[in-house]
Structure 1
Amino acid sequence: MSSAPGSGTPAVRLGTAAGRGVLLTAVLGSGMAMLDSTVVTVALPHIGRDLDAGLGALQWIVNAYMLTLAGLILLGGALGDRYGRRKVFVVGVVWFALASLLCGVAPDARVLIAARALQGVGGALLTPGSLALIQAVFHPDDRAGAVGAWSGLGGVASAVGPFVGGWLVDGPGWRWVFLINLPLAVVCVLVALRHVPETRDPAAHGRFDVLGAALGALALAAVTYALIAAPDQGASPGVVVPAVVGVLLGVAFVYVERRRPDPMLPLGIFAVRQFSAVNAVTVFVYAAFSGFFFLSVLQLQVVAGWSALAAGTALLPTTVLMLLLSARSGRIAQRTGPRLPLTLGPLLCAVGLLLMTRVGAGAVYWRDVLPALAVLGLGMVVLVAPLTATVLASVDVSRAGLASGINNAAARAAGLIAVAALPLAAGMDPDVYRDPPAFSAAFDRAMLLCAGALVTGALLAWTTVRSPVPRTAACHPECTYHCGVSAPPLDPGDA
């Protein structure tokens, strides 16, 4: 019997009980993190009313999670390779569940924000591990099918997440958006301990770039704090000092990463022009996506007067279109090369966001919302799968996992900054979401800014991305079923 790569354990076959257990474990773990990346925005107006929280607090409820997740996701993957992928994954699931419990019982916004930051730490441990488990333990003949099943089921979870979130918010209440993670985590841990063999990377060592991870996360945190505080405090020391500190910490991060023998972020990889170009495109497009999904659910509830369930369900077309058509888009991009889809996709998305400015008080779904989301979804179909394939194909196969992790982290960091900066740029004050006409006017300005970011991404793609057909050996086409709304899908490379 063959062995799982990087271990002495027998390779698992997909059709066996063990194979189904490994797949269930990976889907449950990644599904929890994915749901919390999408459904929490549906609950924000209710959280704000319940906890008497201003817009800045709502931004932090989203950003505290993204901050620790983006800052630690590369470190989480390295910990799994060194200490055992199952062990780190299970620790991440338990950590995520305990943080979810704290979110569910939070008495005020401050506790909820702190708990969301702890959730992000758990997410950084379990998110890279979910696909790495499949790569490491399945027989090579079954690995592509297992990745495809994981990706497809993850896409379904992404599609139904806003619907489930809206149903929970309108039913038992917003706290159940977090508490529902507890039974899922129990099942996930029990199945993992029973069915998932432990695997490690024998070449991994015990040296981790904790300093680099800390500097990167603190730099993002300081800049984010300054951007969120600026509408309320203006150019006060409480804003200027964190902004300057954030920039200095960013410079220190680059300095440390250049000089460490084993950095978390090897800056030399950015010498590959195609890799750098596609990551620049990623930053602009995912900043726009994050800003849109953060504000659109508020617009539908605050201005259009829809329920949380209706607002969450309204977003289904984007993920459904990606689930149904992304694989075909990936195959087309293999023939045409990445330049055209990476240019056309953001432009289509920009049109979709401009159409969202038609959504106001008394909006009718079929007339005002669906056309915008359909165009946005088609743009994401054209864009996401080729973007992921091009990132992975731009580097050597042995660095595919690193390239995917960097691209995923770049998208999450861009989303973090966008959620912090967009309300400031659109002229939203801390209480604007309690004033529907003022929020609607600011929302329209925000959509123009997001569309501008997408057009910038398209121009970058057209002028900097080369158009040779990407190498398919560097990525898994099955991953194109993944609905990369909050970030491109992770690919650990050849485990």
Structure 2
Amino acid sequence: MPSTAPTPTPTAARSRRLALGVLATGMLMTVLDGSIVTVAMPAVQSDLGFTPAGLSWVVNAYLIAFGSLLLLAGRLGDLIGRKRMFLAGTGVFTAASLLAGVATSPGLLIAARFLQGAGSAMASAVSLGILVTLFTEPRERAKAIAVFSFTGAAGASIGQVLGGVLTDALTWNWIFFINLPIGIATALLALSALPGDRGLGLKASADTLGALLVTSGLMLGIYTVVKIEEYGATSANTLGFGALALALLAGFLLRQATAANPLMPLRILRSRNVSGANLVQMLMVAALFSFQVLVALYMQNVLGYGAAETGLAMLPAAAVIGLVSLTVSARLNARFGERAVLLAGLVLLVGALGLLTRVPGRSEQAHYLTDLLPVMLLAAGFGLALPALTSLGMSGAKKEDAGLASGLFNTTQQIGMALGIAVLSTLAASRTESLAEAGRPAPEALTGGYHLAFAVGTALLVAALAIAFTVLRRPKDAPREAAAERDAVGRTALWTDPAGI
């Protein structure tokens, strides 16, 4: 049947492409900052005098602020306007980057990292909400989400390379200073490129108690998870703070069920695609922590790669993710449906982590072309899975809840990352310690720990695959007949428009 969606004018199409570019740049800046710091940690520790335990807070401060404020920021974006929230978040992040770059003490750097996390939460929470309201036609939305998802996936790999280069060529301070021109340019372009929106108004939700409950519950919960490695899963610290965090979040859900103007209307969770996609994402991100971080540690600690060399070795993964995201994911989503594409992507990722459970424990036995390059190529599954999952996660949200759905989707991503850091790194360290005590050489003991983490990550992906298969459904606004038509109409555009829109 013929499409009823109006064809945008060339001017409108250019405006939307520019807006997508602004949102993608904001995403790139946020993701880049998350990965660029890890490579420079030894230099930061040496220059500022961090203790080993204190150094972890350079990462943890950012993660806690980012993960705990996303849901609140997403809802506030719906209320005061998503453009205003994006601009405010970009401004806070950029100013905090300057503060981090000039930091002369551990306390000042940790405070700046917390502010960076808050700014990232404010901007990231509403980005998807802006995107789905800009691109309402399913084919165009799928392509826009593919571009947005690629930016996030590529940013992590680029950050590892750039962090090593900047730290070696200049100083660690420049990993933060590099955000200044990007942040200023993003804010200036956003003023004219992003559509203005008035929001629902603060009177639409004055749920201050709900905001306090969810923010404190998430903050305490993420803090508890990231400290598992230090205190242990069954310690009084973990069990006590974990129970308190669960109580706060339970109180938040109870409040949302009874408040006249809830911060997070529970209707959003009634959509099986919204709730299922968020659960799948949490498991997938937790599993892929072992790919993004532990593979890099394996290359450096076992194979003897340098920081920049490690980043370059992981570039094929970014390349195939980008190739799949920008050229075929939107077309496959339109032709076969997001659910089918997600399942295929998860199968490839299961294969990637499965291969990692077999990497050699000695550098002289390992060969990049046979042991690691196939893993990097199978990372193409992420280029299939993330755009499809994003579409499914946003498909069940009403227009007035787009910012909230965006914030929720980003929140589960951060919770998954925190779980991955806590669980997989703890398991790897524990296994390594037991193997070392049994007399195994250090490289073999480390590899044994990584093998266990990769195996658990594989199991998490299998669980995500099972949930995706049983819970998720094709969005109601994308019947198979319409999808086939969109595929036919968009087949040429996908290959002639390198920008993806």
TM range (shorter): 0.7 to 0.9
- Aligned residue number for residue 244 of structure 2: 245
**Contact 1:279-1:391 at 8 Å conserved across structures:** yes
Normalization by structure 2: what TM-score? 0.77
Matched, 1:365 2:371: no
Cα distance per residue 1:388-407 (max 9 Å; x no partner): 22233345566555434322
- Aligned residue number for residue 253 of structure 2: 254
- Aligned residue number for residue 325 of structure 1: 324
Cα distance per residue 1:135-167 (max 9 Å; x no partner): 778999xx8699579638836656633332232
**Contact 1:265-1:406 at 8 Å conserved across structures:** no
**Contact 2:80-2:201 at 8 Å conserved across structures:** no
- Aligned residue number for residue 183 of structure 1: 181
Shift of 1:215: 2.6
**Cα distance 1:399–1:83, how it changes in 2: closer, same or farther (>3 A)?**
closer
* Distance of 2:217 and 2:167 partners within structure 1: 34
* Distance of 2:382 and 2:302 partners within structure 1: 26
- Aligned residue number for residue 415 of structure 2: 413
Shift of 1:213: 3.7
Shift of 1:27: 4.3
- Aligned residue number for residue 148 of structure 2: 151
* Distance of 2:55 and 2:63 partners within structure 1: 13
* Distance of 1:281 and 1:382 partners within structure 2: 14
- Aligned residue number for residue 439 of structure 2: none
Cα RMSD, aligned residues only: 4.1
Matched, 1:380 2:382: yes
Q: Which of 214, 218, 221 pairs up with 2:219?
A: 221
* Distance of 1:174 and 1:61 partners within structure 2: 13
* Distance of 2:16 and 2:397 partners within structure 1: 31
**Contact 1:71-1:213 at 8 Å conserved across structures:** no
Alignment map for 1:64-79 (pairs within 5 Å): 64-79=61-76
Deviates further, 412-421 or 237-246: 237-246
**Contact 1:389-1:470 at 8 Å conserved across structures:** no
- Aligned residue number for residue 495 of structure 2: none
**Cα distance 1:48–1:77, how it changes in 2: closer, same or farther (>3 A)?**
same
Letter in 2 for 1:459: A
**Cα distance 1:272–1:40, how it changes in 2: closer, same or farther (>3 A)?**
same
Shift of 1:454: 0.6
Shift of 1:457: 0.9
Letter in 2 for 1:455: V
- Aligned residue number for residue 98 of structure 1: 95
- Mark the runs of 5 or more structure 1 residues left unpaired by the alignment: 1-10, 479-495
Shift of 1:309: 1.4
Deviates further, 75-84 or 113-122: 75-84
* Distance of 1:81 and 1:204 partners within structure 2: 9
**Cα distance 1:298–1:44, how it changes in 2: closer, same or farther (>3 A)?**
farther
Alignment map for 1:42-81 (pairs within 5 Å): 42-48=39-45, 57=54, 59-81=56-78
* Distance of 1:189 and 1:97 partners within structure 2: 9
Matched, 1:313 2:312: yes
- Aligned residue number for residue 492 of structure 1: none
* Distance of 2:224 and 2:300 partners within structure 1: 27
Normalization by structure 1: what TM-score? 0.78
**Cα distance 1:315–1:62, how it changes in 2: closer, same or farther (>3 A)?**
farther
**Cα distance 1:445–1:54, how it changes in 2: closer, same or farther (>3 A)?**
farther
Aligned residues: 463
- Aligned residue number for residue 342 of structure 1: 342
* Distance of 2:318 and 2:43 partners within structure 1: 24
* Distance of 1:448 and 1:205 partners within structure 2: 49
Letter in 1 for 2:124: T
Q: How high is the sequence identity, in percent, across the aligned residues? A: 31
- Mark the runs of 5 or more structure 2 residues left unpaired by the alignment: 1-8, 435-441, 491-501
Shift of 1:45: 4.7
- Aligned residue number for residue 119 of structure 2: 122
**Cα distance 1:65–1:153, how it changes in 2: closer, same or farther (>3 A)?**
same
**Cα distance 1:85–1:244, how it changes in 2: closer, same or farther (>3 A)?**
closer
